[in-house]
Amino acid sequence: MALINKLNAIGDAIREKTGKTDLLTLEQMPIEIAAIETGGGADTSMEDSLIEGTLTEYSNDRVTIFKTQAFNGMSSLVSISFPNVIKIESGSFAWGNLTNIHFPKLQEMNSLFLFNQCSNLTYADFPALKKINGGSDFANTGLATLILRNPTMCILSSGTSTFNNTPIANGTGYIYVPAALIEEYKAATNWVTYAAQFRAIEDYPDICG
């Protein structure tokens, strides 16, 4: 390869890294190379705040399953988004301060104490949830609005402990489900405990969207 072709190739590689489009002189090339950030210069603020316990928001569209107690006790965390998670294990967010959760593909809570003691959690919307397979998942939270949008009834494997000491259990919170399923929910095993708290999603667009 001729020298000019080699220089052009180096220039192309530099521009690919920097995003610039200007032609480079031989004198400019080493300056541009020195300015390119390597892995060591990447933003580590999220990693640092996770270790320090100061993380307030976290979003991840890569993971699909949560391990047990993944964020347990992280009191600084208030907002989470996991658009591709389908299954969560026990205690992943217990004893925290969550106010906003986003799990559009979550199908199964295979857990105990999932959001237990998250006293600031007042609203939860689950478009795809099929099964709550545990106990005390929402106990001791501020949960006043639970929306279950799946056109098939979500199975609740545990009765009173799931919503113990919440507005739903105390009669001031509500569970919103598709109108076609509301009578089925009211009579279903374990859900029957909260029969008076069911409302049809379609009747409350201001709450359910």
3-state DSSP of 118-131: CCCCCEEEECCCCE
Query: Which of 88-97, 147-156, 181-190 is the least confident region?
Result: 88-97
201: left (phi over 0), alpha (psi -120 to 50) or beta: alpha
- Rounded CA gap, 94 and 124, in Å? 15
- Rounded CA gap, 188 and 93, in Å? 28
Q: Are 200 and 175 in contact (CB under 8 A)?
A: no
pTM value is 0.76
Q: Which residue has the higher pLDDT, 139 or 13?
A: 139
Q: Which residue has the higher pLDDT, 2 or 30?
A: 30
- What angle, 0 to 180 degrees and rounded to 10, lies between the N-to-C axes of helices 3-18 and 28-35? 30
Q: State which H helix or E strand residue 207 sits in.
A: helix 205-208
Torsions phi, psi for 80 (to 5 deg): -135, 150
Torsions phi, psi for 26 (to 5 deg): -60, -35
Q: Which residue has the higher pLDDT, 72 or 132?
A: 132
Cα-based angle 109, 111, 115 (whole degrees, multiple of 5): 85
3-state class (DSSP) for residue 53? coil
Q: Which pLDDT tens digit goes with each residue over 58-87?
A: 899 998 987 777 888 888 989 999 999 998
Q: Are 182 and 200 in contact (CB under 8 A)?
A: yes
CA atoms within 13 A on the CB side of 179: 6
What pLDDT score was predicted for residue 5? 61
* 176 closest CA partner among 200, 194, 156: 200
**CATH 3.80.10.10 region(s) of the chain?**
43-208
Q: Which CATH superfamily is domain 43-208 in?
A: Ribonuclease Inhibitor (3.80.10.10)
